[in-house]
Amino acid sequence: EAGVAQSPRYKIIEKRQSVAFWCNPISGHATLYWYQQILGQGPKLLIQFQNNGVVDDSQLPKDRFSAERLKGVDSTLKIQPAKLEDSAVYLCASSPRTGGSNEQFFGPGTRLTVL
Amino acid sequence: GQQVMQIPQYQHVQEGEDFTTYCNSSTTLSNIQWYKQRPGGHPVFLIQLVKSGEVKKQKRLTFQFGEAKKNSSLHITATQTTDVGTYFCAGPNSGGSNYKLTFGKGTLLTVNP
């Protein structure tokens, strides 16, 4: 079974530039998560999708971050404009369904460096 | 909001020694999950505990959920170099129809061969 795919794996940009990350979850997984992991900390949820609808985006900085999940499969996370403090690893995860108790399957992440 | 705290933040052991990390939640949890993240890698699910006082074992790893369902621990017996990584606990938010995990900051384990 293929895992969660993410691209790019690494990205270096200058502050105020824009960047986009892509995620392809495990086939059939209805729930998709985007996390931000700053060095030395645990993953912090940015946004959660159930199929193509947003379940939770309470911790998403909506003035600069946006995300979509078209057709309930792939998802993109965009930052525009980027700030220095956005340097982090952006992890995508998926699980078969929301609610109840489900393990989350994480992708390899995209390491973003903002200069 | 809900907080999940882990101690210690770092732990360095000699190979063969035991290791324990502790997780405490500010609220009662319906369940708790544990993940391992190797250096440069991504979090990988280890286990989920649901019942009060539950104890589960995976080879050298023993996971425990507290009676009050507000704390948990992970104990590794006779550590090996393959155990190196950061161990995270994560608990679901309390209340509401949404289900999302709050991760602790993790415990970084290093093992000296």
Residue A41 to residue A25: CA distance in whole angstroms = 23
Q: pLDDT at position B39, please? A: 95
Asked whether the beta carbons of residue B99 and residue A98 sit closer than 8 angstroms, the reply is: yes
Q: pLDDT at position A33, please? A: 95
Q: pLDDT at position A98, please? A: 56
Q: Which of these, B88, B47, B92, B34, lies nearest to A56 by C-alpha position? A: B92
Q: pLDDT at position B112, please? A: 96
User: Is A100's pLDDT higher than 60?
Assistant: no
Q: State pLDDT tens for residues A7-27.
A: 999 999 999 999 999 999 999
**CB-based contact (8 Å) between A48 and chain B?**
yes
Which portions of chain B are predicted below pLDDT 50?
Answer: none
Using CA coordinates, name the residue in chain A closest to B40. Answer: A108
A97 neighbors A4 (Cβ within 8 angstroms): no
Q: pLDDT at position A39, please? A: 94
Asked whether the beta carbons of residue B50 and residue A44 sit closer than 8 angstroms, the reply is: no
CB nearest to A99's CB, from B33, B90, B99: B99
CB nearest to B104's CB, from A42, A56, A108: A42
Q: Which of these, B75, B108, B100, lies nearest to A101 by C-alpha position? A: B100
Across chain A, mean pLDDT equals 93
Asked whether the beta carbons of residue B105 and residue A42 sit closer than 8 angstroms, the reply is: yes
User: Is A97's pLDDT higher than 80?
Assistant: no
Answer positive or negative: Cα dihedral of B22, B26, B28, B31: negative
Residue with tokens 């209340």: B95
Q: pLDDT at position A6, please? A: 98
CB nearest to A103's CB, from B48, B97, B100: B48
Q: pLDDT at position B105, please? A: 96
Residue B15 to residue A61: CA distance in whole angstroms = 43
Q: pLDDT at position A71, please? A: 86
Q: pLDDT at position A52, please? A: 84
Beta strands in A18-96 (DSSP E): 19-24, 31-37, 44-50, 53-56, 65-68, 75-79, 88-95
Q: Please list, in sequence order, all residues whose beta carbon lies within 8 angstroms of the beta carbon of residue B13, skipping any fewer than 6 positions away.
A: B19, B79, B109, B110, B111, B112
CB contacts of A101 in chain B (<8 Å) are 30-31, 33, 48, 50, 92
